[in-house]
Amino acid sequence: MAETNEKVAYEDELIALRDGRDLSVFDLTSVDYLTAEDLELIFTLARKFKELKTAKLSLCKGHSQVNVFFESSTRTQSSFDLSAKHLGMDTTNVGSGNRDKKGESILDTIETLGAYNVHTLIIRSAEAGVAEFVARHVPAAVVNAGDGWHEHPTQGLLDALTMLDHFGTVDLEGKTVLVVGDLLHSRVFGSLVRILVKLGASVRVAAPRTMMPAHVERFGCTHFDNVDEALFQADVVYTLRVQEERGAGGFIPTLREYSKTFGISEKRLSLAAKDAILMHPGPVVRDIDVHSALVSRHPQSRVLAQVENGMAVRKAVLYLLAMRSDERFKPYIQL
């Protein structure tokens, strides 16, 4: 009985924090569509979900979720699946294996899943724009879990939350964030830079010229060829891995050469601001992107904090999108 009362108290607190507010969007396919109010609401709820850790709630009881991962994933897929379960959802996972073997189109696969009346579809694909395409063809709320080299919205949100909570601020005005590495092939960068600009951060980028997106300055970034210069007084050092599975290995002479020029060591990190934090979206390629001693146990590392914040942010996003989808599925939801 005490456990039941505690769960009800948690749920009441989350409902109060939401205060009847909804996201301005029905899907999360790009952070471009999120307003300042959306960001504030997501972060407010995420902080409470983080405090509750693995508490099993019933906020989304009666809702169903399909994790559609046409591209392999460990962190993102397990995080979305566990987040949904902690909210009381029923979940299942779908890969690309049978679709590829049988020649079924993405549209046919998605319309089939939509016909099951699922409430949320989490989709990852190697092609940019798939999540946006899917959102036009199913009534379910669609969350982009990574599309090609384009975006990974919840990763950008969890990264922003990690920075805000470290600095104890409501925005990132006056903070300098340096993003180092394979920007060209990184959907993480695609979402991160959009959110950083929304939050008022000064964004620097450093990468080999072959891994630098064309016209990156249009995002509001300052481009550096020399990573040591870029590191000077940076408040956040955000490193990205070389995405060899997307052909990035052919854009540099060798990984060893890349590490010597752009890898973050303790010596390089010391060039940043005294209280700077180190971040990485994972998986980390130790001693290439970041020297092994810095990855998880170093006092300036926030890599594991990012992982924990990922669960909290995804719970917040799923809860809010579930509330938006209720009108379409109201007859089927067990209240």
**Do 161 and 289 have their domain in common?**
yes
Residues in a beta bridge with 279: 238
- Do 99 and 120 form a contact (C-beta atoms < 8 A)? no
Q: Which residues have C-beta within 8 Å of that of residue 68, sequence separation ≥ 6?
A: 94, 109, 110, 113, 121, 122, 123, 124
From residue 140, give the alpha-carbon distance in Å to each of 36, 267, 272, 327. Answer: 24, 49, 44, 11
Per the listing, tokens 């909570």 go with 165
Quote the crossing angle between the two packed helices 75-86 and 303-329, to the nearest 10°. Answer: 50
| Whether 195 and 130 share a structural domain | no
**Joined tokens for residue 11:** 């749920």
3-state secondary structure of 54: coil
pLDDT at site 333:
47
Indicate whether 116 and 160 sit together in one domain: no
> According to the model, what pLDDT value does residue 331 have?
47
Give residue 258's pLDDT. Answer: 86
Percent of the chain with pLDDT over 90: 76
23 and 131, same structural domain? yes
Q: Residues 81, 104: one domain? A: yes
Q: What is the mean pLDDT of the chain?
A: 91
Residue 216 in tokens: 């990156």
Q: State whether 138 and 14 are in the same domain.
A: yes
Q: How far apart are CA 136 and CA 130, in angstroms?
A: 10
Tokens of 87: 């909210």
Whether residues 223 and 320 fall in one domain: no
Tell me the two tokens of residue 318. Answer: 């799923």
Same domain flag for 194 and 292: yes
Bridge partner residues of 221 (DSSP): 203
Residue 50's pLDDT is: 97
The residue ranges of the chain whose pLDDT is under 50 are 246, 248, 331-335
304/120 Cα distance (integer angstroms)? 27
The DSSP bridge partners found for residue 68 are 94, 123
Q: Are 180 and 223 in contact (CB under 8 A)?
A: no
Rounded Cα–Cα distance for residues 297 and 164 (Å): 21
Structure tokens at 142: 């669609």
Residues 131 and 167 in one domain: no
DSSP string, 80-145: HHHHHHHTT-EEEEE-SHHHHHHT--HHHHHHHHHTTT-SEEEEEESSTTHHHHHHTT-SSEEEEE
Q: What is the pLDDT of residue 72?
A: 86
> Based on the structure, what is the number of domains in the chain?
2
Please indicate, yes or no, whether residues 211 and 122 belong to a single structural domain of this protein: no
Q: Write down the pTM of the prediction.
A: 0.93
Kindly state whether residues 115 and 159 are assigned to the same domain.
no
Among the listed residues 154, 160, 194, 151, the one whose alpha carbon sits nearest the alpha carbon of residue 277: 160
For residue 267, the model assigns a pLDDT of: 96
Task: Specify whether 100 is located in the same domain as 71.
Answer: yes
pLDDT at res. 29: 98
- Alpha carbons within 13 A on the beta-carbon side of 269: 24
**What CATH number has the domain bearing residue 109?**
3.40.50.1370
List the domain range (segments joined by +) for residue 283.
Answer: 154-301
CB 37 within 8 A of CB 24: yes
pLDDT of residue 244: 55
